Structure 1
Amino acid sequence: MVSLVVVAVFLLCGTLFQPPQVAAFKPLFQDGSLTHREITQMAILRKTAEVCRDIATAQGHDFTLPINNRLTPSAVQEACSASATSLSAVSSHGFYSAITQMFLSNAVVDQLFALSEAHHIDNEAFSEGRDLIIQGVAAVKASVQQESYISARNTLGALCHTLQDFYSHSNWVELGSTAPFSTLIKPERPLNNLAGPNTPTCKSCTGSNCRDNILPEILLQKKLTSGYFSVFSSTKPAGKCSHGGSLDRTSSREPTGGINKDDIRSDHGFLHHRAAEMAINATVEVLQDIRLATGDQAFLRLVGLSQTSVLAFVIDTTGSMHDDIEAAKNVSFSIIDSRRGTPEEPSEYILVPFNDPDFGPLTRTENADIFKERINSLSATGGGDLPEMCLSGLLLALAGASPSSDIFVFTDAAAKDLELRSTVQAMIERTRSTVTFLLTNPFLFRSRRDVSQSKSFTSKSMSLSDKQLYRDLAHVSGGQIIEVTKATLSQATAVITDASTSALVTVLQVVRSPVIAENISFVLDPSLSNVTVYITGESPVFTIYSPTGVSQSGSVEDGPLGSILTVGNLKRVKLNSDNQTGEWKISIDSTRSYSLKVIGQSSVNFLFNFVEQLEGGDFTPKNNRPFIGRNTALFVSVTGGDSVRVTDVLLVEASGLDVVNGTIKSLGATDFLVNIDRIPEWAFVVQLKGLLHDSTRSLHVRFQRQSPTQQQGSRVTITAQPNNTIEPGIPFNLNFTLATNATGSSYTIRARTDRSFNVSFPSSLDTGTDGSAQGIVTLTAPSDTESGTDVTLTIEAEDSESGDSNYVALQFTVMTKVTDFASPVCQIVSIKANCPVECSRASWELSANLTDGNGTGIAGVSLSRGNGSLSLSYVMSADGTNVTVASYNTSCCSQEVELVAVDRVGNVGTCFVSIKSPSTAISPNGSTTVSSNVSTTASSNGSSTVGPNGSTAVTPNGSYSVSFSMCVALVGLLVFFLCG
């Protein structure tokens, strides 16, 4: 029997019931107020625009986009593409998808950690909250270093929630602060001037007026406090401020009222917009720290701006696969060579080989030459018994690829690891990646001998269930199953070339089984190009009709509407580019099951996520299957079009004709909340229809898009409350909860990782009289796992009788505990400048010594400002310290330089030097001739702010020792300024 305490927590944080609105900036939507979603998006857009501006300036390009809080993803994408040829100029879908991932992981903190004072910096939990932020920043940097961008985004979103809540829940704004509290992201700084545990901080509000409830002496002494919050008890320390609001029971006890600024209706709602602006600036600050630690290109990949297409192969390497491997090599090399250096070049390459009993390793790289080398090294050997580890290889690719990737599986064998079917399907639903199977010789299987040597085959038809497994997974993902001979496989690879283009959208996809004779309509809009129709099946007969009534039979290879390629069970129709706009129709008849898919390239696409309503009206993301028969909501965003009108959002039966309509509420130009009355029992896809402005004809035309991945509901839900990080070698216990509207049901439990980490879990759970059950999964990463490695844990629950199931997929970053939080130290050795009036005729130079003391050591030094030449050398000082010597030389026309030093765990320091007049020399022996204005600044995050002690040090020989928590300025004579 579940204890009363567990039930109470379940009711608060659980799954079947609406969790309470926690005390924080609202997660996603709130009329008139700024939410975590908007704060996070504004900060990302501002910082991304700044990075693109700096890159453009360094390359001599113009960047004219004003950087403010009115930026949109489309505007930033367009401006960045125009100023840097390495970025795709086609679609903002990947950019918006990454931003959405970050603000959804931010919003879900309110559900997963509703009562955690540290996650919301309630109850004066400043130290605990800062620890979460610092640990999160370290994990983001480690993940980026390992190119684990999905994990990095999840962690970044979560830590930003805590960072942003500080400005709503504390009195930082009431203290008159005009800049973010940088100490929250700088562990080397002390948390000073906190209100002590016995220090009164508030008086009761006067009725509903809480404008002056913070004690005058707290404001005068600049003491930092935050509100106390509890939904269970009114108890709080004497004299302390409360958070406030209807759920906060402490706010009814003296001193009454609260100080939160979560929205404009809060007790201190008159300061809401100031707190939100401060939270935006603080988020920009932490993004800048991550940018400096990882570099501009890695930062752009983190925010999804450089994401174009992904080329992902899962390849069977057993003996009979020689021809298949050669076909995969040929098509990948052709794509790489033809698109290298163009906006259509894939931004990432993924390769997973599988054999029996081995599979992997995963190769994930941005470097096309590395991918070529890895795929070229594959050979067809071994085998053994007939089936192979296909699903294990596919699962590894699904976990490693970016969301919405196209993955191609090459095999001529059945899957041996059938127990992974439900896990693979869960990962497909979660990542919304498309999987296409290219099956060669599907009616022949290998003998147990190595066919690369014997070339012998055993005639044996693939069972219907073997083929159906691949077909089902392909259809769930929105992909295809293409059955060809080895001799014709090279022709079928045209599908791979089609899919490995940027800005690919699905206009329509239907699956028919059982089949019916049918007329299927779809709309093409002016933004679409390279439209292709795929029909896969053994016996479909079809005719295509254009909007003007022109028709072409499926038996005509080259006709008035397009060219048709027939390979095995695939018919690929490449439509002509002329006069595509309008409603098309396909009349199709078949005696067996078939699928129809229409794709094209367009800047206009959409994202959707299931969300569930919190008490108080706002919503939080739902990360697994929605509950069958109940109402739910979708958060829909249209990408690539800032003036699109959405008229219909539909749940369309995946293999039938039923439809559930949604009710649409606009949340701005491109975001929509769609209420769904009920989740159907059948599998469905999400279809969007609307009006798009046609600039060539100055009118609005119809458009439609569809999610390729099928979704489905469940009568059970499963939730877990994870950490973002786990330590290598240390078992991590994860609590999870099952909930259903039935009692006394028995559920089979499965838990797996994509990296074969050790996992223990209960084999089954029975729901009690309250319809819920609790379980624990123990996950252990090997002790030698590198920091920044990501691992996906999938927990599934399946009803033993009905087969109904649900899952939760959680991603963790493996992190060795970080103990080095000290920034590198910079010692300016010399600055030599003798600059004439005509600056182009002379140069100036800087020499600096960079050290990391007892830290992990300097990993790299780079320029964040300045276009001169930087050279590095390495020496050891007399006391055994490793010293990185930075020598910089540039034209006198370039008067500023900023060096960035990063240690091995991502601590960042910057050294800024500016020359303002033509003649200055600082020599290492202490003699200094000053006839100009030279300033040098050093800090731990690249910004000049007031530090806690303001101390500076002058070394005995007269050189200027500048640590990254101080600055030294020379203006004529030496004048010291404080900075941090």
Structure 2
Amino acid sequence: MLSLVALVSLIILILDNGVLGFLRFSKDGSKGHFDITEEAVLETTLQVCIDVANTEGQNVIPPPKPLTTESVAQACSSSGSESFHRAKGDMKWKNVNVDIIHFFNPEYHFDNEEFVRGKKVITDGLAVVKYKLKQGNLEDAREKLGSIMHTVQDFYSHSNWIELGNKLPHLSLIRSDLSFGNVADKSTPTCQSCVDDDCHNNILQNILRDNILITGYFGQKSKPMGKCSHGGLADLTSRIEPTGGINKDDLKSSHGFLHATATDVAKAATRQLLEDVRSFAGDRTFLRMMGISRRSKAMCFVIDTSVSMSEDIAEVKRVASVIIDSRRGTANEPSYYILIPFNDPDFGPLTKTTDPDIFKAQINSLTAGGGGDFPEMSLSGLQLALTSAPPSSEIFLFTDAVAKDTYLAGTVLALIEQHKSVVHFLLTGSFGERRRRSGEPDQASQMGVLDPQLYRNLAQASGGLAIQVTKAQLPEATSIISDSTSSNLVTLLQAVRNHGKADHFSFLVDESVTNVTMYVTGSFPSFTLISPSGVSQSHRVVSGSLATVKTVGNLNTVKMIKQVGLWAIRMDSSEPYHLKVVGKSVINFLFDFVEETQGPDLGLSILNTRPTSASNTTMMITVTGSDSLEVTEVVLVESSGAQEVNGSVEPLGGRSFLVRMGRVPVGDYWVRLSGVNSSRVRAAPIIYRRQSSTRVRISDFTVMAVVTCNSDLSPEEPLSVFFTVSTNGMGGHITIQATNDRGFTSSFPTSLLLEAGTSAKGTALFTASTNTPMGSDVTLIVEVTAPGPADSPALQRDC
């Protein structure tokens, strides 16, 4: 059966009609929303770092302009630039997505003289940002902040603020206690007709003389008599008297001669918005929201607390204590400490803190008890971890039992893909031998849960390891926790073979890589390591000239002695295995699948579903760690086979690259990137290669959800979620399951008819309970099971 999952938390409305504001990306000398946001974030973040350093008696030498992500991260003494890239990208994508989601909502663009409603978008949004910051939800706060930036920036392109001679931002935009001042009413004429280059002086003189604030009208078939239009090909009102427009979206716009001034003031206004958030949050929290931290990854434990886990819990306490005490005040100190216990029927509560002593106290308070019927609520605990931990976290789940809540497998897999987090399973005891309570049905046997294959599948999808050891061996296996939570961890190679056979692999170690470690999980795998110089070492050699090998349970850990160059691994196993090679390096990459839309600029938006085999596959790649990195090759590598799909690479500036793959066959893939680093003076460029930790899925099916009302969910008022399931393959009757993570009342069709090569549509209704606190988040999940071969879920990401 084919399972598809839609995760919805905000409005999703995909349109294809150009833009309503500044260009999304720079073009022909014009600046877009990406550029304005990028510059404002870099400048503000650097200033905060300088101010923090000054209060600590330190001195920060500002990097040369133009500022870059790498130079600002280095000036801020951040543990790396990857999280800064990710945070900045979150805000930029949420910014440009406003043009897609709210294309026909004029208040989001200050069109149609919607001053009151436009300002409300900003001030209400700013209130949400501050509420999220107060809750400690930094990821949601910065995403909401990015969407507000769009409306703030559009004000300076769509109004006559610049034409009135203003060189500074309008302070009232972000202040609910201030009014706009002298604004035009609906009956006041504002423009005279103009054509193309004659539009420089189309605003009526009395409007300018009396300092009256106006905006253009957009997109409608009619407008009030005498009003200005936005202008441009997509604006139908610009053909109605008075013709022409006043927007300053780019240099070729109706008022493009003021484009540079508008972007400068829009950037200043964006900085003003950021400073307001900084003032509320405080410098340290603001920097963490921006991905600037002197700490490493989050340390996240999901722990089975059932009665048989006493030894395991004691080991978790020991490991956590060692890591906390050894990393205090260092670059490897975790950015967050997250703890989620589970057994049956309970899971939680969640502990998420930056204070190691609070975390220690919570872990030390754990006790083992209950859970005597074998399966536990492990996936419920893991789901909570995935929605609570920062993106790209490393999560460690400890259990000696299989999952009772297997119905969450599709949702958990979708969350892994969405957040690109790595999940390691530390499995102890003999699975299937723990006995049920007397007199109860043998649930384990009925569900086929004697084999922890589900855990292996989830681990492999995330790029994590499913480690099976005895309880006595667990202390030997927990070194994986310390290794995996260190800063600047990169993946050099990853492969899964579900049917053991002889195979060869290679990986490249460049000069920036240290601490190279190979992990192999499987039953008695045979392997030979071959160095760049041709020297080989068998897995039977525990301590050799190339590496030291340690085996515990099904985990083989190979700590390698560094040699720069191309290494080879010869594998020979009759059983399935998972191979992963990691190292430490500042050079890494981020990726997202995107879709190209029609419009006057390069129209890119984050793909809200998994890529399908029926359409061209396009990716946005951002390399991190140096301003001298180039990308020469991007390949999708089949995770459990030898198939590779090459893409064409197009530089976009700012260490970002557009990769077009064409159509990719259905399957699971790792993303592999190769490139050069030309930062060294008078020396040959360094060749580097990296691979993604989490794998991606190309599917024949997609599921898309569309929320048609405001993203605010009011108690006792149903929220409609329209979803569409499309297929390029076979059809048939599909079953629907709609859930949410807060237990809200829901109704939905239980089945739909899907014809081959077509789409099927359905609607789910959700109603919030009356006692839901204001500002609460809810994740709506629509799961679709359709006829076809076994497959993993397709994901509809939130917008």
- Residue 265 of structure 1 is matched in structure 2 by 252
Match of 2:525 among 540, 547, 564: 540
Aligned partners of 1:421, 1:222: CA distance in 2, in Å?
Answer: 60
Equivalent positions of 1:58-457 (< 5 A) are 58-65=55-62, 70-81=66-77, 87-88=78-79, 91-230=80-219, 233-306=220-293, 308-449=296-437
Per the alignment, do residues 66 and 694 of structure 1 end up closer, same or farther by CA in structure 2, a change over 3 Å counting?
closer
- Is the Cα contact below 8 Å between 1:140 and 1:155 reproduced in 2? yes
Could you say which structure has the greater relative contact order, defined with CA pairs below 8 angstroms and 6 or more residues apart?
Answer: 2
- The C-alpha deviation readout for 1:253-311, integer Å capped at 9, x for no partner, is 11112111222222222222221121111111111111111111111111111252110
Shift in Å, 1:381: 0.3
Per the alignment, do residues 764 and 265 of structure 1 end up closer, same or farther by CA in structure 2, a change over 3 Å counting?
farther
Equivalent positions of 1:576-725 (< 5 A) are 576-577=561-562, 580-616=563-599, 617-693=602-678, 695=680, 698-714=683-699, 715-721=701-707
Shift in Å, 1:515: 2.8
Aligned partners of 1:67, 1:516: CA distance in 2, in Å?
Answer: 54
Per the alignment, do residues 239 and 810 of structure 1 end up closer, same or farther by CA in structure 2, a change over 3 Å counting?
same
More displaced, 500-509 or 19-28?
A: 19-28
- Residue 38 of structure 2 is matched in structure 1 by 41
The reply on whether 1:510 has 2:495 as its aligned counterpart is yes
Per the alignment, do residues 680 and 265 of structure 1 end up closer, same or farther by CA in structure 2, a change over 3 Å counting?
farther
Aligned partners of 1:319, 1:572: CA distance in 2, in Å?
Answer: 30
Aligned partners of 2:273, 2:64: CA distance in 1, in Å?
Answer: 18
Paired letter, 2:662: D
Paired letter, 2:418: R
Shift in Å, 1:460: 8.3
Aligned partners of 2:537, 2:443: CA distance in 1, in Å?
Answer: 42
Paired letter, 2:39: M
Shift in Å, 1:767: 5.6
Q: How many pairs are equivalent?
A: 779
- The C-alpha deviation readout for 1:640-695, integer Å capped at 9, x for no partner, is 11111110011111111111111111012411111121132011121111112363
Equivalent positions of 1:897-976 (< 5 A) are none
Paired letter, 2:169: P
- Is the Cα contact below 8 Å between 2:444 and 2:450 reproduced in 1? no
Aligned partners of 1:227, 1:694: CA distance in 2, in Å?
Answer: 48
Paired letter, 2:344: D
Shift in Å, 1:499: 0.5
Shift in Å, 1:14: 5.7
- Is the Cα contact below 8 Å between 1:650 and 1:687 reproduced in 2? yes
- Residue 6 of structure 2 is matched in structure 1 by none
- Residue 740 of structure 1 is matched in structure 2 by 726
Aligned partners of 1:461, 1:331: CA distance in 2, in Å?
Answer: 36
Shift in Å, 1:593: 0.9
For 2:172, what is the secondary structure of its paired residue? Answer: helix
Per the alignment, do residues 754 and 698 of structure 1 end up closer, same or farther by CA in structure 2, a change over 3 Å counting?
farther
- Is the Cα contact below 8 Å between 2:467 and 2:521 reproduced in 1? yes
- Residue 838 of structure 1 is matched in structure 2 by none
In structure 1, stretches of 5+ residues that fail to align are: 1-11, 82-86, 451-456, 812-980
Aligned partners of 2:682, 2:326: CA distance in 1, in Å?
Answer: 34
Per the alignment, do residues 256 and 39 of structure 1 end up closer, same or farther by CA in structure 2, a change over 3 Å counting?
same
Paired letter, 1:41: E
For 1:281, what is the secondary structure of its paired residue? Answer: helix
- The C-alpha deviation readout for 1:299-334, integer Å capped at 9, x for no partner, is 111111125211011111101111111111111111
- Residue 50 of structure 2 is matched in structure 1 by 53
Shift in Å, 1:747: 3.6
Paired letter, 1:583: L
Per the alignment, do residues 656 and 802 of structure 1 end up closer, same or farther by CA in structure 2, a change over 3 Å counting?
closer
More displaced, 305-314 or 766-775?
A: 766-775
For 2:316, what is the secondary structure of its paired residue? Answer: helix
In structure 2, stretches of 5+ residues that fail to align are: 1-10
- Is the Cα contact below 8 Å between 1:684 and 1:711 reproduced in 2? yes
Equivalent positions of 1:848-887 (< 5 A) are none
Per the alignment, do residues 431 and 354 of structure 1 end up closer, same or farther by CA in structure 2, a change over 3 Å counting?
same
- Residue 8 of structure 1 is matched in structure 2 by none
**Root mean square deviation, CA, Å:** 2.5
Equivalent positions of 1:489-568 (< 5 A) are 489-568=474-553
- Residue 886 of structure 1 is matched in structure 2 by none
Per the alignment, do residues 485 and 722 of structure 1 end up closer, same or farther by CA in structure 2, a change over 3 Å counting?
farther
- Residue 5 of structure 2 is matched in structure 1 by none
Shift in Å, 1:630: 0.8
TM-score with structure 2 setting the length = 0.93
Shift in Å, 1:444: 4.3
Shift in Å, 1:543: 0.9
- Is the Cα contact below 8 Å between 2:12 and 2:705 reproduced in 1? no
Point out the structure with max Rg over C-alpha: 1
Using the aligned pairs only, state the percent identity: 45
Aligned partners of 2:430, 2:709: CA distance in 1, in Å?
Answer: 44
More displaced, 366-375 or 610-619?
A: 610-619
Shift in Å, 1:424: 0.4
For 1:188, what is the secondary structure of its paired residue? Answer: coil
More displaced, 755-764 or 430-439?
A: 755-764
- The C-alpha deviation readout for 1:724-782, integer Å capped at 9, x for no partner, is 86467454514333152669754433333344455444433446897352423314256
For 1:445, what is the secondary structure of its paired residue? Answer: coil
- The C-alpha deviation readout for 1:114-158, integer Å capped at 9, x for no partner, is 111111111111111111111111111111111111211221111
For 1:341, what is the secondary structure of its paired residue? Answer: coil
- Is the Cα contact below 8 Å between 1:748 and 1:798 reproduced in 2? yes
- Is the Cα contact below 8 Å between 1:113 and 1:721 reproduced in 2? no
Aligned partners of 1:253, 1:67: CA distance in 2, in Å?
Answer: 49
Per the alignment, do residues 43 and 745 of structure 1 end up closer, same or farther by CA in structure 2, a change over 3 Å counting?
farther
- Is the Cα contact below 8 Å between 2:112 and 2:215 reproduced in 1? yes
TM-score with structure 1 setting the length = 0.76
More displaced, 703-712 or 30-39?
A: 30-39
For 1:43, what is the secondary structure of its paired residue? Answer: helix
Between Structure 1 and Structure 2, the one with more strand by share is 1
- The C-alpha deviation readout for 1:910-937, integer Å capped at 9, x for no partner, is xxxxxxxxxxxxxxxxxxxxxxxxxxxx
Shift in Å, 1:399: 0.3
- The C-alpha deviation readout for 1:74-125, integer Å capped at 9, x for no partner, is 11111011xxxxx42xx11011111111111112222111111111111111
Per the alignment, do residues 756 and 375 of structure 1 end up closer, same or farther by CA in structure 2, a change over 3 Å counting?
farther
Per the alignment, do residues 24 and 291 of structure 1 end up closer, same or farther by CA in structure 2, a change over 3 Å counting?
same
Aligned partners of 2:680, 2:254: CA distance in 1, in Å?
Answer: 48
- Is the Cα contact below 8 Å between 1:796 and 1:806 reproduced in 2? no
Match of 2:24 among 17, 24, 27: 27
More displaced, 789-798 or 673-682?
A: 789-798
For 1:211, what is the secondary structure of its paired residue? Answer: helix
- Is the Cα contact below 8 Å between 2:738 and 2:764 reproduced in 1? no
- Residue 463 of structure 2 is matched in structure 1 by 478
- Is the Cα contact below 8 Å between 1:94 and 1:308 reproduced in 2? no
Paired letter, 1:358: D
- Is the Cα contact below 8 Å between 1:13 and 1:19 reproduced in 2? no
For 2:659, what is the secondary structure of its paired residue? Answer: strand
Aligned partners of 2:664, 2:398: CA distance in 1, in Å?
Answer: 35
Shift in Å, 1:66: 5.1
- Is the Cα contact below 8 Å between 1:443 and 1:461 reproduced in 2? no
Per the alignment, do residues 757 and 462 of structure 1 end up closer, same or farther by CA in structure 2, a change over 3 Å counting?
closer
For 1:613, what is the secondary structure of its paired residue? Answer: strand
Paired letter, 1:405: S
